[in-house]
A and B are shown apart, each in its own frame.
Chain A
């Protein structure tokens, strides 16, 4: 099993550009999550999807949108990137919303 996969691994954007981060899981999990990791701050939740067809805001949703494309895939979109969005982005999934979360390898994003 691949577990949770994320693409791309690295990305550099200019301010104002848009992009979509892709996440897929092959564990048949119902719940999926997007986090960002900044130095000295641990991980903070951007958006989550408790089940296919639902999405909700987390702690830091401003500047982001998400799509739960199907049970496997959960994408994160930056419509107009800003330098403050320079971060490492992690996708995670869990069997149900109360279960252990499993993380992907991350996407390192730099916005110039």
Chain B
């Protein structure tokens, strides 16, 4: 069965320093993986997605993630944090249910705080 584990519930960084949000997945076949961001009182916005093409995926706002099959990881990084990056981040794996339905399994989320 597919599952997603976000290893940190809270991450705090200083503005201008690197960001690392960790995600491990479990999947019985090659998965599709996503990172979504949720700003306070807003809906979820897609940051990036991996669908078995390049293992290093670039997303919006300077974020990128690397798919590492050997480590079953899909960590999200950004070289330099900005105050506007403060939000909750969700790692998501997509599964295929019989009949072709596209089910998303969400991690519990990582809340990123950025300090001046």
Contact = CB atoms under 8 A, between A and B. Distances in A.
A56 interface: yes
A4 interface: yes
A27 interface: no
Interface residues of B, number: 23
Contact of A43 (B9, B49, B106): B106
A100 B101 contact: no
A50 B96 CA distance: 13
Interface in A23-52: 31, 40-45, 48, 50
B102 A97 contact: yes
Given A100-B34, A100-B49, A105 B43 contact: yes
Contacts of A106: 41-43
Contacts of A101: 102, 104
Interface size class of A (residues with CB under 8 A): 20 to 34
Interface of A: 4, 31, 40-45, 48, 50, 56, 58, 90, 92, 94, 96-106
Given A41-B108, A43-B44, A45-B103, 19 more contacts: A40-B108, A42-B4, A44-B106, A45-B104, A48-B101, A50-B101, A56-B101, A58-B103, A92-B44, A94-B102, A97-B100, A97-B101, A99-B102, A100-B34, A100-B46, A101-B104, A103-B36, A103-B43, A105-B42
Interface of B: 4, 9, 34, 36, 41-46, 49, 90, 96, 99-104, 106-109
